[in-house]
Amino acid sequence: MPTVSKIFQQILKIDFDKLKNFCTLKIGQIRGMDKNIHSRPFSSVFVIDLNENPALKQSEIQTIKADLTQWDELNNGFAYLPEQIDILVNNAGLYRGFGGPVRDIDDDMWRTIWSVNVDGVFYCCRAAADVMIEQGDGGRIINISSTQAVTPGVGVTYDGSKAAVAQI
């Protein structure tokens, strides 16, 4: 069975063995399968998240605390990153339950979920693209969506936001 790193290598068409200083930037929490994605072969791993994850303090993963729904705060967070970003993994996601019928979804729930799941992903893409273009040799941006983008069922706020991410 291939490892997550090998699958990533095939998808991204990157020969990790040839990279010496490889930096990946992860947006959102690290748990479950994400932990495997951020193990070697990456030499530098950074996470931008609104909340600090105590488990990361004992790892080599560096956390930058920033609200990705606020462009200025996120952009300032990018100042703490190295000058080179090879991969951005956008895995931000917020789910607040089904929400009920469309007429029962209040503006606060709608805006909060879309701000994190769509605006945050867009802002991270824009900030990372600037860095990747400036460094001259590009990079890769991976936007993690959800099966709910194509098989709705948990609510229009979450499902719709993840469908938007799939299109970014």
> Of 79, 81, 82, 78, which Cα lies nearest the Cα of 68?
78
Q: Inform me whether the pLDDT recorded for 42 exceeds 80.
A: no
CA distance 72 to 103: 33
Secondary structure of residue 122 in the 3-state scheme: helix
Mean pLDDT of 87-104: 82
Per-residue DSSP letter, 64: E
- 18-22, 93-97, 100-104 — which is least confidently predicted? 18-22
Contacts of 164 (CB under 8 A, 6+ apart): 114, 117, 118
Whether 45 has a pLDDT exceeding 80, the answer reads: no
